[in-house]
Structure formats: C-alpha cells, structure tokens
Amino acid sequence: MTLSPAPIIDLMEAFRRSKAMFAAVSLGVFDALAEGPATASGLSLRLKTNAEALERLLDACVALQLLEHREGAFMNSPLADRYLVRSSPDALTGYIRYSDDALYPMWAHLDDAVREATPRWNQTFGWSGSLFDNFFQTEERKREFLMGMHGLGRWTSPVVVRAFDLSRFKILADLGGATGHLAIAACEAWPQLRAIVSDLAEAIPIANEQIVKSPARDRISVMAADFFKDDLPAADLYALGRILHDWQESRIEMLLSKIFKALPPGGALLIAERLLDEDRSGPLGAYMQSLNMLVCTEGRERTFSEYERLLKRAGFINVRGERTGRYLDAVFAEKTAEKN
C-alpha cells in the first residue's frame, strides 16, 4: 500500500491558511463586508489594495468558508459575521491580531525556544520582560488583546461555570479576570452569586464596559490588584481562568497557597485551563498551546493529575476535573469544611 504524504503536505501548508485569515482581518475585509456584499474591485477601492491580488485573498477566504461568493459579490459567512467582525460582541479579532503581530513572528524562533527553554520576546522584538509587559505597551494593543480574550471567554466561560455545582457559594473572586467574562457567566448562571473581578488597574475600565452590559451587573464589582503582590478580595470561591498556564510551578505554588489561606472553611477554587491527556496523546490544540506558552511565557499546559498534585500540595481536597468539549476545561478543588 502506498503511504500518502498528504498529512505532511497539510502541515507544510497549514500556516498559509492562518495567514490568509490574519491578512483578511488586518486589511478590514470582514468589517467592510459586514456593511453589505461587495465586488472585489469595489472592495479594493475601499481597502486601498490591488484589485486582482485582493480577489485572490477573497477567493481563498471563500475556500476557507469565511466568505461566500454569489452573483459576482462577496459576503461574510455567518461564522465570519460572528467572530471576525470587530463590532461583534463575540469577536476574536483582538486575539487574531495578537497572533499575527506577536505570536506569528515569535513562532519563527520555536527551535531556539526549544534549545533554551525561554520566551522569544527579546529575540523577536528586542523586548525583555513578560507577555503582559510587552503587549500592554499601548492602549490599542491592550484593548485588542483583552477583547480577543473576551470573545473567546464568551464562548468558554458559560460551560466552565456550569461544570460543577456552585449553588452553595456566595461570593466569587475572579483573579486576573480581565474583562470579567467568567464572573459575568457565573453570575448569570447562579443567581445567588455575587462576583468581584480582580485584575491589574489597566484592565479595569474594559471590565466595567463589559459588566454593565450584563443583566447580572448589579451583582458584579471590580477591584484593581496584582494577585501576587496584593491582598486577595474576600470570597468563598476563587476562579483562575487561563492564569496558571502562564507560570512555572514555584509561582503557581505561591499563588495556590495564598488562595488556600484566604478561603474560609468549605471554600473552593475553580480553574479554567486546557487539559492534556494523561497518556500524552492529545488533544492536539492543547499541545500546540503548550508550545505557544514556551514561546511567549514561562508556563505550559498540564494534565489533570499535574493540577491535582499542585492543588493537594497547597492543601486542597476533592479535586475534580471536567472536559467541557470547548476550548477550555475545568478543574475544581475544595478546602475542608472543618476549622483547623
């Protein structure tokens, strides 16, 4: 039997598909077509591009099912209208722009990241420090990144907060809560719950913008704080959404210990992360994300048992994990109800 090279060829060409979408977002194709169908020539005048070259990109986006082509005019697919138009509440364009502007060039140095086990900010851009130091340098970058995370969070947080029974908890503190999507989803799902979105001061105005749109807005407040340096807000339930994968174990142990001490007896911690399979066979997306963490942070993705070990070491009990079927999975751990 002839062994086909198709999987290898697909991997060789995979970056072309990503870059085609990145370029269409960057040029404003989907935003322009949100206003109505247009021909390639008409769109090229609005976007100030070469008409023939733009048509090639538009045809590629049709093949990618991001656009549709009818009677000589191009229009957004429902998928693009929801996730690729900047004005959509579910837009992923901020994370796409971050992927294009920052991650794409840094991944060109993946081999060096593997050799040295350090992020590629300095090698790629001449920057030192963390992802947050670098990508929050301008208001535009900060907003795009946070709103990209918000679009993703609107899809993942509703299932994360329903993965476990949270009906006994009164106050949720979402640490590093960014735009508040997890706190919003939790308060909308659990009517007895009040929430505090805690993040760096730079994120608070954007969180307020999103919280006010929620029907649960009267039960959600904000707090500017650095969870490593400042006191944690009082709560009987803490949440960490896409936080632990940014850090080495020593930093994680410090944070988990701090949360455990702050919790009252019977309190708990909810974690949203991508879980690797215990046999290290997948999921593919989680392994690609783990490589991404190698390129841009000091962290990595982990298996449930690795999170369980870290949590039990901090004092937590009854550690459970749930696959949500979406981009993020959920881990839940409790503090004993007995007072020490």
* Digit-coded pLDDT (tens) for 242-279: 999 999 999 999 999 999 999 999 999 999 999 999 99
Which of 120, 135, 150 finishes a domain?
Answer: 135
Here the CATH number for the domain that contains residue 254 is 3.40.50.150
| 229 in the same domain as 162 | yes
Number of separate domains in the chain: 3
Q: Do 77 and 144 fall into the same domain?
A: no
pTM comes to: 0.92
Question: Does 236 reside within a domain?
Answer: yes
> Which three-class secondary structure state does DSSP give residue 149?
helix
Whether residues 214 and 285 fall in one domain: yes
Cis amide linkage into residue 283, ω under 30° from 0: yes
User: What is residue 134's predicted lDDT score, i.e. its pLDDT?
Assistant: 62
The per-residue pLDDT for range 104-122, each reduced to its tens digit, is: 999 999 999 999 999 999 9
**CATH code, 13:** 1.10.10.10
Using CB atoms within 10 Å of the CB of residue 123, give its burial: 0 to 12 exposed, 13 to 18 middle, 19+ buried: middle
Question: Environment class of residue 93 by beta-carbon count within 10 Å: exposed (0-12), middle (13-18) or buried (19+)?
Answer: buried
Residue 339, pLDDT > 70, answer: no
pLDDT at 131 (0 to 100): 62
Q: Is 88 a member of any domain?
A: no
pLDDT band at 139 (very low <50, low <70, confident <90, very high): confident
Confidence label for 133 from pLDDT (cuts 50, 70 and 90):
low
Share of the chain above pLDDT 70, in %: 97
**CB within 8 Å of 11: residues ≥ 6 apart:** none
Alpha-carbon gap, residue 61 to 168, rounded angstroms: 48
Dihedral pair phi/psi, residue 319, rounded to 5°: -80, 125
Residue listed under structure tokens 């138009």: 85
**Could you tell me the CA-to-CA distances from 48 to 54, 132, 139, 161 in Å, in that order?**
10, 33, 26, 44
Examine residue 215 and state whether it is found in any structural domain, yes or no: yes
Can you tell me the distance from the alpha carbon of 109 to that of 34, in angstroms, rounded to the nearest whole number? 36
DSSP state of 103: I
pLDDT reading at 301 higher than 90:
yes
Confidence of residue 141 (pLDDT cuts 50, 70, 90): confident
Q: Are residues 190 and 300 in the same domain?
A: yes
| Mean pLDDT computed over every residue of the chain | 94
Identity of residue 328: L
pLDDT recorded at residue 129 = 64
Tell me how far apart the terminal alpha carbons of the chain are, to the nearest angstrom.
67
Query: Is pLDDT at 198 greater than 70 in this prediction?
Result: yes
Q: How confident is the model at residue 67 (pLDDT cuts 50, 70, 90)?
A: very high
- Tell me, yes or no, whether 71 and 109 share the same domain: no
Tell whether 100 is covered by a domain. Answer: yes
Which band of pLDDT confidence, cut at 50, 70 and 90, is reported for residue 85? very high
Domain match, 144 and 98 both: no
Q: Are 59 and 161 contained in the same domain?
A: no
Own/partner contacts of 102-106, CB < 8 Å, gap of 24 or more, are 102/134, 102/135, 102/296, 103/292, 103/295, 103/296, 104/18, 104/19, 104/22, 106/295, 106/296
Q: Name the band, by pLDDT with cuts 50, 70 and 90, for residue 60.
A: very high
* pLDDT above 90 (res 41): yes
Same domain, 239 and 273: yes
Residue partners of 272: CB distance under 8 A and separation at least 6? 156, 157, 160, 182, 239, 240, 241, 242, 328, 329, 330, 331
19 and 129, same domain (yes or no): no
| Enclosing domain of residue 262 | 139-334
Residue 88 has pLDDT above 70, yes or no: yes
244 and 112 within one domain: no
98 and 73 in a common domain = no
Hunting for tokens 């009252």 — which residue is that?
Answer: 264
Looking at the structure, tell me whether residues 74 and 102 fall in a common domain: no
The catalytic residues are 245
According to the model, what pLDDT value does residue 55 have? 98
Joined tokens for residue 14: 């995979």
Question: DSSP 3-state assignment of 272?
Answer: strand
- Interval 148-193: pLDDT, tens: 889 999 999 999 999 999 999 999 999 999 999 999 999 999 999 9
Confidence of residue 91 (pLDDT cuts 50, 70, 90): very high
